Structure 1
């Protein structure tokens, strides 16, 4: 089967997902992509540019299926290519959505600063219309699917008339959860004779953006340091723009405890993953959690809020070890893990087995089967 995978914002987790599926799928997966810049413009104009490029490429067999990410305006792409794609089914993969993505506390910063912190409903409507145009919709987690549909009815009720409330159940009926595949092979195997260094290493491998609440993360570290608790810290997550002043001041205050500060290349990232004792999250937002699962695969203990997608990606048997209920609970778990790194490591090694189901080796056949079913269901009797 020939799949045209359309990725207008081809970077970060979107790129890793698309290229991972192409690498491990049994099907022919053709990528049609644009660089990961100017996400708003990608949602507006990406469909036009990619449609024109695809049409200009000319002759060749048509794909059996279109697979688009949530940042594509699928309705525009289909309209501009209607002579070629009228009979081709389409699926949308929802990495995120613009209806429930959290807004920053400071209305002058972040993606909606021009609206002074108010959500621009147009981008949410692009997601909604693309889902209507799709044959099938996939969400990366149950948490993501549930929160989107909880917000969709109030969103449509905002409009004055003909607000199409009946489409909510229609969309629910063609939506399902399909987790993100992760290429765990790129993390390598546990290095031989890896000796736990003292003091223990804490890892930050999440995006350094407001939705991950990095200022709270740094405040927690500074509080631990003030208590005299021994630890080192590696700050290696992807960055977009300059960190906040609060983050920079917090990092400076940690001094020599910081052994790495910047976006890590693959080799450095692998080394830090395997060396780390633990990672923790203070995020306001998480639809899935690729970076957390990568850390878990490398035997790093995660300490995560008992909300968002985290209870879903952590097996129930490990909830008591890994999920915290409050800031005080987080501090207690951190003190325990840092004072007993061998015990924390033993739990992390047992937990690591849970990531196998997210490996592309395991998930790609599931993707293949579900996408074949879409194509077969669209064929005329």
Structure 2
């Protein structure tokens, strides 16, 4: 049994669930040092200093450091070299700042100072012994955007450093606690239930989603709608517009404070239309599909990778027009849709299946470092 230290500057949401999930299901001894999940830009700049100080105070002596993409790993290792100089390190990318679609209204974009976050990702990947991505799409997009990014500089671009990162990179899908949904009984409501269970942010493309909902209402096609997910101080205006226009269809609107409420809506959902512009994996989508929702996914991002090939034609769409057609067809054939479940194909992402893969990989990294 090895000792592994997870270093997480942004201990919230999927980052937090992932760290705790692995800790609960691993055969290794896992400790976590973390910072609260807020001020993500400051976490990428200064989090390494705070976490290095925390690590210097701990008595835990790890065999491997497992850090998330929000950590400036180079700074962390420099400030802890008395304890980490001989330790192997693995860097796990939940997301990256090179291929993540920044909002045009972001002040750093407007002032052209957003590039440094991507550079932190690159140098952290160079410093790590192993670089891990939650999907093949994520890995390929990082490598592509990394080279494009480095070509912007006047000399000594070091574009070959991306090739070095590629050689030590691999895909390690996200582990998810899917078994926690097993005790919730699936329940079908009178009207077909359409589900939104993503963050209320621009990169999830809520405008396209609600545009499709507005069209259904205009055609007098009956449906109900549950809008879940975390919202923030500045959310897209379309959510307020939808709350008004779809007041008769919406049966839940807002974040679920506990697992049971969240699971209840997932296990009642019939159709999951996804319009996201960004998703490096899609944990909320995997959860909804596991609970029985019928997915309608864009034929891009990580989705073709997660969905078995034989289901692509039925569940992947090319444009908004095709999505609207697929939603309408699903609603008109709701009894048939309710008898289709892809849950068995997504069990592979449960921690009971994923944890042994993680454990074996990290054991091999430790052995290689000391061989």
**So what's the TM-score if we normalise by structure 2?**
0.97
1:1-381 alignment to 2 at 5 Å? 1-57=2-58, 60-104=59-103, 107-108=104-105, 112-116=106-110, 118=112, 120-191=114-185, 194-264=186-256, 265-347=258-340, 349=341, 351-380=342-371
SS at match of 1:97: coil
* Equivalent residues of 1:188, 1:270 under 8 A apart: no
Tell me the secondary structure at the aligned position of residue 137 of structure 1. strand
**Alpha-carbon distance between aligned partners in 2 of 1:342 and 1:102, rounded to the nearest angstrom:** 38
Residue deviations 1:133-190, cap 9 Å, x none?
A: 0000000000000111111112111111222122121110000000000000222335
Structure 1 outlier segments of 4+, above 4 Å: none
Counterpart Cα distance in 1 of 2:320 and 2:141: 24
Instruction: Give the SS at the match of 2:154.
Output: coil
Give the superposed CA RMSD: 1.3
CA contact (8 A) 1:303 1:322 kept: yes
Kept in 2, the 8 Å contact 1:218–1:251? The answer is no
Q: Measure the CA separation in 2 of the matches of 1:361 and 1:82.
A: 35
CA separation in 2, counterparts of 1:116 and 1:168?
27
The aligned length equals: 369
Residue-by-residue CA offset, 1:87-138 (whole Å, 9 max, x unaligned): 000000000000110022xx32xxx324317461111010001001000000
Change (3 A) 1:14 1:147: same
Unmatched segments (≥5 aa) in structure 1: none
Structure 1 distance, partners of 2:98, 2:270, is 36
Q: 1:256 is paired with a residue of what secondary structure?
A: coil
Q: Are the counterparts in 2 of residues 103 and 119 from structure 1 also a CA contact under 8 Å? A: no
Q: Offset of 1:56 from its aligned partner?
A: 2.1
Separation (CA, whole Å) in 2 of partners of 1:319 and 1:374: 35
Q: Secondary structure in 1 aligned to 2:343?
A: helix
- Quick check: 1:8–1:46 contact (8 Å CA) kept in 2? yes
In 1: Cα distance, 2:270 partner to 2:299 partner:
20
Please state whether the residue corresponding to 1:346 is helix, strand or coil: coil
The runs of 5 or more residues in structure 2 that have no matched partner are none
SS of residue paired to 1:44: helix
- Counterpart Cα distance in 1 of 2:306 and 2:82: 42
* TM-score (norm. length: structure 1): 0.94
SS in structure 1 opposite 2:267?
Answer: helix
State the distance in 2 between where 1:189 and 1:117 align. Answer: 50
> What secondary structure, in the 3-state scheme, does the structure 2 residue paired with 1:204 have?
strand
